Amino acid sequence: MRKGVLLIVGAFLLIASSCEEAEKFFDLPLTDAEIAEGLKAALNEGTDESTTSASAVDGYLKNELIKILLPEEVKNLQSEINTGSIAGVISYQDLLDLYVATNPNIDTDPFEELITAMNRGAEAAAAKAKPIFVDAIVNMSITDALVILQGGETSATEYFIQKTRTQLINGFQPDITSALGQTKAIDIYDGIHGFMNYEYEVDLIVTKQTYAVNDYLQYNLPESIDGYATEKAVDGLFTLIAGEEKKIRANPYSYASDIIQKVFGSDEAQAAL
């Protein structure tokens, strides 16, 4: 009986000691090293959540915040094809339909199919972004940690973007390029380029006239789509990370990490809200 009581007392003292140590941890003033550690922990949390969300089916395609749309030049081309014609003789849309019928990589609408394929490629590659992002976070040197902590509600993410965006795009592009090949985005985009060189012969009864699309539609389209898609995919992940940072700043105690609780629950952090 006595032994049991001693065990209970011992356990109680251990718990009390642990609680006391925890209180001391949270009561101690923040150091620059702790702030930097907390900022990195928040970015890691955001990376984990963002890559999980983005890599799900429709993670990009059905999320209007990060959905990858057409490059501006391609969007302008689409708009003119939808409304224009060659001297009123044949519409650009009719010419596109004739061209699509000869291209095995396009079903009906190359522009909408390209949007879907780019987003499916980004979803397929998103999970592979996690170790690239985490490695960048670990190796990122944080200066002026207190300034970042007391900045805006996404200041840690903005600092992360400033320091690592180019590096992350370069590291992630091979995975995106591979995924875009699997979703046929590259083939579809090549098909859009091919349409610009399409020629069609129209029978005008008395004579025949050959119309070359590039004589009428003159757009300087990007040579490839993978660089553009990579940048947009990475920026989408940054958008999600920023959203997670906002949640952490608003309610740090809903996270299991002690360092996140201490840093973002501190007077220094809360004063910035």
Q: pLDDT (tens digit, 9 = 90+) per residue, 6-27? A: 445 444 444 434 444 444 445 5
Least confident of 10-19, 130-139, 171-180: 10-19
User: What CA–CA distance (Å, rounded) separates 244 from 179?
Assistant: 26
Q: Give pLDDT tens digits for 225-251.
A: 999 999 999 999 999 999 999 999 999
* pLDDT at residue number 122: 96
Q: Give pLDDT tens digits for 67-115.
A: 999 999 999 999 999 999 988 888 999 999 999 999 999 999 999 999 9
Q: Residue 158: how many CB atoms within 10 A of its CB?
A: 15
The pair of three-digit structure tokens given for residue 244, joined into one six-digit string: 């997670």
In a 3-state reduction of DSSP, which class is residue 153?
coil
- To the nearest whole percent, how much of the chain has pLDDT over 90? 78
* pLDDT at residue number 17: 44
Q: Residue 29: how many CB atoms within 10 A of its CB?
A: 8
Extents of the domains making up the chain: 33-270
Distances (CA, A) of 120 to 75, 191, 219: 19, 18, 26
